[in-house]
Chains A and B, each alone.
Chain A
Amino acid sequence: TQLLEQSPQFLSIQEGENLTVYCNSSSVFSSLQWYRQEPGEGPVLLVTVVTGGEVKKLKRLTFQFGDARKDSSLHITAAQPGDTGLYLCIGGNNRKLIWGLGTSLAVNP
């Protein structure tokens, strides 16, 4: 059963544009992690959020955890080709990790 919905599934934008991707669930999570995966490589952790309403920034990336800890968003400002990849969110709860299917982002020069 897929408990984490990510949207959009695919996104193709031009360099310099802003974008937001979403991760939604009906379940409450104790933590939520965002990873980026480049083609042919394993995912790499970007951020972990644990507190409802928490906002974390990583250069041009802004992550927000929903107040109810059921959803999260990732906003990228002025996207660059190096941001291209698969963005995955995973929720942690009760010794278990729940994965979303990811948002595949292509940033064109």
Chain B
Amino acid sequence: DVKVTQSSRYLVKRTGEKVFLECVQDMDHENMFWYRQDPGLGLRLIYFSYDVKMKEKGDIPEGYSVSREKKERFSLILESASTNQTSMYLCASSWSETGELFFGEGSRLTVL
């Protein structure tokens, strides 16, 4: 079975803390994505990566950074978490930029 694995299902952090969300895929996909999902706002793209060490900003990159040192791993970093970053974070991978997306189970982050 193909798989996208996110490191944590649930996290609770305090304002100002640094947060790492990790995502690993086993499908040898070139493209990986980080989305956040909020009620009434749908899925919004934070960053995507089309190759190792390559990244592009999505629609809402402010307050986030990413790292892709290996093809299978894509990390999302919140340098200084804020309460408005409380959300469900979804990682996905794909063969192409607009092809089928394979999602992880999501990481629900609460920032207090």
Report whether chain A binds chain B. Answer: yes
B54 to chain A, nearest CB (A): 13
CB pair B106 A41 closer than 8 Å:
yes
Mask: chain B, 84-107; 1 = CB below 8 Å from A; 0 = not: 000000101000011111111110
Q: Of B13-21, B35-43, B60-68, B69-77, which binds chain A?
A: B35-43
Within 8 A of B (CB), among A1-59: 30-31, 33, 35, 40-45, 48
Q: Of A60-68, A72-80, A96-104, which binds chain B?
A: A96-104
CB pair A42 B98 closer than 8 Å:
no
Q: Which residues of A contact B43 (CB under 8 A)?
A: 43, 88, 99
**A101-B40, A102-B42 given as contacts; is B101 within 8 A of A96 (CB)?**
no
Partner of B100, one of A30, A33, A41, A101: A33
- Interface size of A by CB at 8 A reads 21
- Interface size of B by CB at 8 A reads 19
CB pair A42 B90 closer than 8 Å:
yes
Mask: chain B, 1-16; 1 = CB below 8 Å from A; 0 = not: 0001000000000000
A29 to chain B, nearest CB (A): 9
Tell me, yes or no, whether A108 is within 8 Å of chain B by CB.
Answer: no
Q: Which residues of B contact A42 (CB under 8 A)?
A: 4, 90, 92, 103-106
| Pairs A–B under 8 Å by Cβ, sample size 27 | A33-B100, A33-B101, A41-B105, A41-B106, A42-B4, A42-B90, A42-B92, A43-B43, A43-B90, A43-B101, A44-B103, A45-B100, A45-B102, A48-B100, A88-B42, A88-B43, A92-B99, A93-B98, A95-B97, A96-B98, A97-B45, A97-B101, A99-B42, A99-B44, A101-B40, A101-B42, A102-B42
15 other contacts beyond A42-B106, A88-B42, with CB at 8 A cut-off? A33-B101, A35-B101, A40-B106, A42-B92, A43-B101, A43-B103, A45-B100, A88-B43, A95-B97, A95-B98, A96-B98, A97-B45, A97-B98, A99-B43, A102-B42
Taking Cβ atoms with an 8 Å cutoff, the residues of A that contact B are 30-31, 33, 35, 40-45, 48, 88, 92-93, 95-97, 99-102
